[in-house]
A and B are shown apart, each in its own frame.
Chain A
Amino acid sequence: MRVFTAVIAIAVGVLVLLGYFLPQAVSSQIILLDWAIILAGAAALVGILNLVNVHADKIRRRAKDGIYSAVLIIGLFATFVFALVLKPQNAYVQAFVLKGIIIPVEASLMGLLAVSLLYAAVRLLRRRSDVMSIVFIVTAGLLFLGSATLPFGDVPLIGTLVRPWVTQIWALGGARGILIGVALGTLTTGLRVLFGVDRPYGGN
């Protein structure tokens, strides 16, 4: 089984990769990626089944927060049946599920982030006042001040000169370094999987 799974992963990876460089391999790449989309969808369903299992277990064990798990499972099944019968793009599903629950909760959680981020920034200065923390807070403060909409317009110098210069030159340099670093890491990890060195599918 170990060798078989490694052969599947390497063969699929090489065939998909070849599709980017050889026109003859494009058709096989499209078929394999179509299959991957179907399997990723099924994997998402398995993930949701696992969520149900974990919370059903909490209810069975009469755990401390079991009542919340019951709320989660009722909400999950009710929404699933509702959206499965009427289809996700139905006006009632959109109104109740998306506009009534998902979007307001996400926006409110994002709103709570404003308070928790401010608290985190204050804690950072109190606990770790080194060069990086000071640079971080000063940059954030300057940029926030520079982007604020005030009755008289932009803050002189900070809004018109400092903010564009910091975001378009200094921050861009650091962001490019981080992005290229992440991409190099991704590239290395992908190559390790394709060479069979790493087997995250349980083939070790």
Chain B
Amino acid sequence: MPFISLDLITGALSFLFTLMILSYLIGDNPLFKIAVYLFIGVASGYVAAVVFWQVLYPKLFLPMSNALLAGAYNQGLLLVAPLLGVAFIFMKVSPRLSGIARITMAFLVGAGAAVTLAGALTGTIIPQVSATIDFFDPQTAAARNIGAFEVLGNGAILLVGVVTSLAYFHFGASQKPDGSTKRFALIDMFAWIGRIFIGITLGAIFAGVYAAALTAFIERISSLAIFIKTLFGIP
């Protein structure tokens, strides 16, 4: 049995870093800075290792070496393009050769744009619009034991919220003969109502984030107390 257990080391590290971070409550200080810089370094090093072991090795290096060893050159050829792409993107480190990295960046931007475009359409716009329409569905309301009056009232508030919040982000304006610009009066009115809905939404998000932050704060204080109690054997 080892003299110092793994749990004790983990607990001590956790205790130390929690104290260093919470020391920010008395003001910015070197302990807080050391903890934050070390955290960034450790997290980056861990991400680099994860990228190697869970992306580059199983998806590129292992299939490439397997294909070469088995003489399956057709499969190996399919991996030449990403291998070249990886080589190109690493040229970004050198200012003289960084232009070549644009080829890989163009590939990533093209693929990313297509994925986000499809995701925005099928993952947000269609489901959110459908959910807003479905709110008025009498059968769904009956299944949830909600009366027609309640459905119409709440559905109207929801619909007004969606439309006016969207109008708030509409910045199209007409140009007057004197060169000044002004939004359309109807859009302006909708945007004013939309501000109230956005204020309510952001307030709700704030309350949720604050509750989560407070829970994390209490959990950290509790972990400090538990570590001290365990270390000194206090019941």
Q: Decide if A and B are genuine partners.
A: yes
**B161 and A173 contacting across the interface, CB-CB below 8 Å:** yes
A187 at interface (Cβ–Cβ under 8 A)? yes
Residue in A68, A101, A177, A184 whose beta carbon sits within 8 Å of that of B33 in the complex: A68
Q: Which residues of A contact B9 (CB under 8 A)?
A: 95-96, 100
Residues in A with CB closer than 8 Å to B204 are: 139-140, 143, 166-167, 171, 175
The answer to whether the Cβ of B184 comes within 8 Å of any Cβ in the partner chain is no
Is A155 positioned at the interface, with any CB of B under 8 Å from its CB?
Answer: no
A residues in contact with B18, CB < 8 Å: 104-105, 107-108
Contact B216 A12 (CB under 8 A): no
Name the residue on A nearest B41 (C-beta).
Answer: A75
Q: Determine whether the beta carbon of A1 is less than 8 Å from that of B102.
A: yes
Query: B1 an interface residue at 8 Å Cβ cutoff?
Result: no
* Residues of chain B contacted by A191 (CB below 8 angstroms): 117
Total chain A interface residues with beta-carbon distance under 8 A: 123
Q: In this assembly, does A83 line the interface, its C-beta being within 8 Å of a C-beta of chain B?
A: yes
Q: Name the contact of A39 in the complex, choosing from B22, B82, B121, B196 (C-beta under 8 A).
A: B82
Interchain CB contact (< 8 A) of A173 among B197, B221, B223 = B197
**Interchain CA distance A65-B117 in the complex, whole Å:** 42
Q: Judge whether B21 is part of the interface by a CB distance below 8 angstroms.
A: yes
Q: How far is the CA of A118 from the CA of B211 in the complex (A)?
A: 11
- Decide if A69 touches B37 in the complex (CB within 8 Å): yes
Q: Considering the complex, which residues of chain B in the window 47-91 have a beta carbon less than 8 Å from any beta carbon of chain A?
A: 47-56, 59-60, 78, 81-82, 85-86, 89-90
In the bound complex, do residue A174 and residue B89 qualify as a contact, i.e. CB atoms below 8 Å apart? no
Q: Tally of A-B residue pairs with Cβ under 8 A?
A: 409
- Chain A residues touching B, majority SS: helix
> Which residues of A (88-105) have their CB < 8 Å from a CB of B?
88, 91-93, 95-105
Does the CB pair B35–A181 fall under 8 Å?
A: no
Do B125 and A184 touch across chains, with their CB atoms under 8 A apart?
yes
Q: How far is the CA of A82 from the CA of B210 in the complex (A)?
A: 36
Q: Let me know if B24 and A112 touch, CB within 8 A.
A: yes
Q: Does B92 contact A (CB under 8 A)?
A: yes
Indicate if the CB atoms of B107 and A114 lie closer than 8 Å: no
B208 to A: closest C-beta gap in Å: 8
Per the 8 Å Cβ criterion, residues 166-190 of A in contact with B are 166-167, 169-184, 186-187, 189-190
Q: Are B114 and A202 in contact (CB under 8 A)?
A: no
Quick check: B103 and A101 within 8 Å, CB to CB? no
Please report the C-alpha to C-alpha distance between residue A42 and residue B48 in the assembled complex, in whole angstroms: 9
Q: A88-B50, A102-B39, A108-B21 are in contact. Are A173 and B162 (CB under 8 A)?
A: yes
A107 vs chain B, min Cβ distance (A): 5
Q: B142: which A residues are within 8 A, CB to CB? A: none
Structural contact, A75 and B45, CB atoms closer than 8 A: yes
Restricting to B2-56, which residues have a CB under 8 Å from any CB of A? Answer: 6-7, 9-10, 13-14, 17-18, 21-22, 24-25, 33-56
CB of B21 within 8 A of CB of A105, answer yes
Q: How far is the CA of A203 from the CA of B102 in the complex (A)?
A: 8
**Using a CB-CB cutoff of 8 Å, which residues 100-133 of chain B contact chain A?**
102-125, 128-129, 131-132
B219 and A194 contacting across the interface, CB-CB below 8 Å = no
The answer to whether B159 touches A136 (Cβ under 8 A) is: no
Say whether, besides A39-B104, A100-B10, A136 and B195 are in contact (CB < 8 Å). no
Q: Are B21 and A109 in touch, CB under 8 angstroms?
A: yes
B110 touches A8 (CB 8 A): yes
**Could you list 8 further interchain pairs (A-B, Cβ under 8 angstroms) beyond the known A39-B89, A181-B166?**
A16-B115, A33-B115, A34-B82, A71-B38, A78-B45, A135-B200, A187-B121, A191-B117
* Listed A/B pairs (20) with beta-carbon separation below 8 Å: A9-B107, A13-B110, A37-B55, A39-B85, A39-B86, A48-B45, A50-B92, A71-B37, A84-B49, A93-B46, A101-B39, A104-B13, A112-B24, A112-B217, A114-B213, A136-B203, A166-B200, A170-B201, A173-B161, A201-B105
Binding site for B on A (CB under 8 A): 1, 4-6, 8-17, 20, 31-46, 48-51, 53, 65, 68-69, 71-80, 82-84, 87-88, 91-93, 95-105, 107-115, 117-118, 121, 131-133, 135-141, 143-144, 147, 166-167, 169-184, 186-187, 189-191, 193-194, 199-203
